[in-house]
Structure 1
Amino acid sequence: MRSYSELSREDLAAERQVLLDQYNLLQGLNLKLDMTRGKPGAEQLDLSKSMNQILGDEYLSEEGDCRNYGIAYGIKEIRDLFAQILDTNSELVIAGNNSSLSMMFDTLMRSMIYGEIESDKPWAFVEKRKWLCPVPGYDRHFAITRDLGFEMINIPMNDNGPDMDMVESLVASDSSIKGMWCLPLYSNPDGYIYSEETCRRLVSMKTAAPDFRIFWDNAYVVHHLYEDNQGSIPDILSLAQNMNNPNRVYQFASMSKITFPGSGIACMSSNQDNLARAQKYLATRSIGPDKMNQLRHVKYLPNLDAVKILMKKHAQLLLPKFKAVDDILNQELNGLDIASWHSPLGGYFISLYVVDGTAKKVVKMAKEAGVALTPAGATFPYGVDPRDNNIRIAPTFPSVDDINKAVKVLTVCVKLAAVEKLLGE
């Protein structure tokens, strides 16, 4: 098939009728498929089911009885494990309960109430405070900064990470910009990997706000799809230290997509000064996290090698799903000049770019044909995609058979919306 832009109006009209017939046929199948969120499938969850019985009568960590109060910052063994995963020092790690998103929210709330080390006042009293948001990005990140009253500024992404010329220009001139979201390895949803140069520029750049912070969500640090082709990023805390901005970064990670999303372990890591300040308030907030859950995790995953073995099993389940999406997109859309996408090396999503002004229409049409996708615009602050062209595909939860059906529906909708746009309809 030739590029749609090369077709005459008569050919476009004929193509539209063919696509309408296909769409009506798909609607008649009464599909009920859900690709809205990046959730592990049941087979992935089963990989860790033996962890439920692993403790038996055990309850002792190196620091004592995990059944009781205390050990507010996580047992040593789990902090050691996260340090291996993040390639950092265990003294720079606080381990909590299951949700890294909760730790991000709490960290930003502390800044709102108390400010940061360099702050002259709590961030809640900073008028017209702003936050940088690489886009497309993670909707739950944006929800936090939206609900806490930050004006969010879109930063375009490329295959090396955020547009650093734009970032550096903004933070150098505006002291009301207090921070930035970063998902540096297999970004959500594009699957991009921040280059070492990007990481270096982020921690070395001059900022008008002395208390500027980067929230470094290392959600997919071990979530590779390929054993022989794995993305990597530098240890951001060491890099920040070497660039004389040791306080700049809060790093987060979790076991949510390693073991169980609802009952994993989350962590935050930063430099000693930031952690000491956080620990002061954490000790007031809670007497300690769920240490029995931390203990069962380290009994099941005692070291990084054990984590890598488990993640290889995850990859064996996920790779066929990602390949199924890529294969159908190539079969149905390649050469038409109406869509583009990046095939990631890891993470949980594929980002599809369609003809400008058609993403919402595509998602609506897909829903009416029985395929639920992430709402168009969700990958941007305030739910507004300025070009209305980004669709996040979440292939991890459905079966390969369901993915084949869902992506077939999606591609028909993409083509139909593109043809109608070209016809001026």
Structure 2
Amino acid sequence: MTSAAVSPASPLADLDQHALRAVHAEISAAYDELKAAGLKLDLTRGKPGSDQLDLSNDLLHLPDGEFRDAAGTDLRNYGGATGLPELRAIFANALRVPVSQLLALGNASLTVMHDVIVQALLHGVPGSERPWGSRQISFLAPVPGYDRHFSIAERYGIRLIPVPLNDDGPDVEAVAALLATDDSIKGMWCVPVYSNPTGAVYSEEVVRALVSLPAADDFRLFWDNAYAVHHLSDERPAPIDVLSLAAEAGNPDRPLIFASTSKVTYPGAGVAFVGGSEANVEWIVRNMAVQSIGPDKLNQLRHVRLLRDEQGLEAHMEKHRAILEPKFAAVAGAFERRLAPYGAGTWTSPKGGYFVSLDVLDGCAKRAIELAAQAGIAVTPAGATFPYGDDPRDANIRIAPTFPPLAELETALDGLCTAILLAETESLLAARD
């Protein structure tokens, strides 16, 4: 299968009508060839590939007959609601949460976030005058953002208010203006390190502002630190201690910190973490007491035996990096080769995380994804990175390069680029007719 290319290439918007029609004809021919190839490729979700999962296969036989923690506790039995201290210690520094204020729970941080939302709706959080669910409440949603965050809010009728996400974090002026004028706002979704999907990293200046802005006592930052250890280069952001900054600002209860090992070990059999102020942690533990008599401590012990310590975690993540770095390089290479010559998109170059954010010509994302799907290439639906699936520009496409083998990824990216170029030439021709 060949790639569409016109030489010399020029930005599509700069071409005269005759040249644009010529490009459209050539790309249409390449697209027909793409469809005829009968591809079945998937770029929809940020899942680890099989070779990444293989890195944690020792979990399948660990803990080798052991079933006691460092204190000698029999982990096969009930109890231990806060999780193994040894495992919490491995992740405490990366998350900047004291071990005593970090809980190790079940296999999914999304479940923990969901439960915290539901408990807040039913009972309120520390500082609440009444349960959140007693009135219409709202959450701020930095965009583009994570669709599963939005889904939790949408499921329970929480109004989502988009705010722009910059390279250094949410637009603080926009957040401040909304907090000052809308007392229904009770939370904000945050992915502070390698945000999904842009790869943005919050700066200390922005974090200081977020924990200091005037807001209700029960306003919470849902601090999803999902990618805190998922680096793709040696250029690594220093972890920001949001708990200490919030305490300094007089708002110690504002951050609720979430993370998991889903993309460290096994997504279906990992460990979720939640941390916060002493008051928040006590509130979470009290709520959990009627839900569970303890997490899967044997699975937590398996993770302790696999990762061993903080240095072992870093070494394990370097193995992930060796697998993922070429895939992210393939994304950049494909877009530079296929899209850049035509001015057909802008994209992020993340230093970590699991995604690349691509913006195409306004009004073209849905059409490009539709064309890709017809050619057997599944891509995250257009609009997924915005609340209610509504991207007002119809421009953003989330690229998830981690799951396919490299050769399949390269084929899928090349085909997606063909679909994007076809969608953009169609749009420009239609606008001129």
Q: Which TM-score band (shorter chain)?
A: over 0.9
Aligned to 1:86: 95
The reply to whether residue 373 of structure 1 matches residue 379 of structure 2 is yes
Select the residue among 387, 396, 403 that pairs with 2:402: 396
Q: 1:286 is paired with a residue of what secondary structure? A: coil
User: Counterparts in 2 of 1:137-286, with a 5 A limit?
Assistant: 137-207=145-215, 209-226=216-233, 228-286=234-292
Q: Which amino acid aligns with 1:75?
A: L
Deviation at 1:4, TM superposition (A): 1.2
Letter in 2 for 1:42: S
The Cα of 1:233 is off from its aligned counterpart by 3.6
Q: Which amino acid is 1:382 matched to? A: Y
C-alpha displacement at 1:172, in angstroms?
Answer: 2.0
Query: When the two structures are superposed, what TM-score results if normalisation uses the length of structure 2?
Result: 0.96
- Pick from 309, 313, 338 the counterpart of residue 307 of structure 1: 313
Following the alignment from structure 1 to structure 2, what is the Cα–Cα distance between the partners of residues 140 and 149?
Answer: 14
Identity over aligned pairs, percent: 46
Q: Is the 8 A contact 1:185 1:232 kept in 2?
A: no
SS of aligned partner of 1:391: strand
Equivalent-residue separation in structure 2 for 1:88 and 1:123 (angstroms): 26
Instruction: Note if contact 1:224-1:346 (Cα within 8 Å) is conserved in structure 2.
Output: yes
Instruction: Look up the SS of the partner of 1:134 in the other structure.
Output: strand
Q: CA RMSD in A?
A: 1.0
**Which residue matches 1:25?**
33
Q: Where in structure 2 are the equivalents of 1:336-415 lying within 5 Å?
A: 336-415=342-421
Shift of the alpha carbon at 1:96?
A: 0.2
Paired position in structure 1 for 2:3:
none
Q: Is the 8 A contact 2:204 2:240 kept in 1?
A: yes
TM-score, L = length of structure 1: 0.98
User: Higher mean Cα deviation, 412-421 or 355-364?
Assistant: 412-421
How far the C-alpha of 1:210 sits from its partner, in A, is 2.3
Distance 1:193 1:85 in 2: 15
Matches for 1:36-185 after TM superposition, within 5 Å: 36-63=44-71, 64-127=73-136, 129-185=137-193
Q: Is the 8 A contact 2:105 2:296 kept in 1?
A: yes
Amino acid at match of 1:78: L
Q: Which amino acid aligns with 1:374?
A: T
CA drift at 1:70: 0.4
Residue 164 of structure 1 and its aligned partner are, at CA, apart by 1.1
Q: CA offset at residue 159 of structure 1?
A: 0.8
Instruction: Report the CA distance between 1:82 and its aligned residue.
Output: 2.2
Unpaired segments ≥5 residues, structure 1 = none
* 1:145-179, Cα deviation, whole Å (9 max, x unpaired): 11111110011111111111100111122111000
Post-superposition shift, 1:285? 1.2
CA contact (8 A) 1:114 1:121 kept: yes
- Larger mean CA deviation between 96-105 and 335-344 belongs to 335-344
* Stretch of structure 1 that moved more, 22-31 or 74-83: 74-83
- The runs of at least 4 aligned residues of structure 1 exceeding 4 Å deviation read none
Q: Distance in 2 between matches of 1:106 and 1:232?
A: 30
Contact 1:141–1:181 under 8 Å retained in 2: yes
8 Å contact from structure 1 (residues 112, 124) kept in 2: yes
In 1, the alpha carbon distance for the partners of 2:150 and 2:324 equals 27
Q: Per-residue displacement from partner, 1:83-137 (whole Å, max 9, x unpaired)?
A: 133132101111101100000011111100110121111011123x111001111
In the TM superposition, what whole-angstrom CA distance separates every residue of 1:289-338 from its partner, at most 9, and x where no partner exists? 00000011111112110000000000000011110111010001114222
Residue 34 of structure 2 contacts residue 415 of structure 2 at CA under 8 Å; is this kept in 1? yes
State the distance in 1 between where 2:228 and 2:397 align: 24
